[in-house]
Amino acid sequence: MTALHRWHALIDARDYAGLDALLAEGAVFESPVVHTPQVGKAITAKYLQAAMTLLNNGTFRYLGEWTAERSAVLEFACDLDGIAVNGVDMIWWNEADQITRFKVMVRPLKAINMLHQKMGELLARA
């Protein structure tokens, strides 16, 4: 099963325990609300789990998918406290089918501001 298929399975099952096996050791997470890339498997897993906990709330859905040999762009949408969130996940993986880089971009500004606040709260508790 490819990294992308494994990612979709995690999202569908809301089972984030599989993140450890899916992420490469030096994985990098790039957030729409954090200036610097977060480097390392542990911090990438922490950010992804917080984001999935927040966004994968029953309204989350992928709208489109564009793939290359070892990368993909997935457009998503969800509702968060009455705010329509729209964004893209850009995912890169290595030959071992482990995610090496994960970048998230979100719109509109109102959604980014809400995500910033709520992600900060979730990460502070983790």
**99 or 34: whose pLDDT is higher?**
99
What does pTM read for this prediction? 0.93
Tally of CB atoms within 10 A around 2: 12
Please report the pLDDT score of residue 126 as a whole number: 66
Give the residue among 58, 65, 55 at the shortest CA–CA distance from 85.
55
Using DSSP's 3-state secondary structure scheme, residue 80 falls into strand
**125 or 30: whose pLDDT is higher?**
30
Residue 1 has pLDDT above 70, yes or no: no
Report whether CATH 3.10.450.50 matches the domain 3-125.
Answer: yes
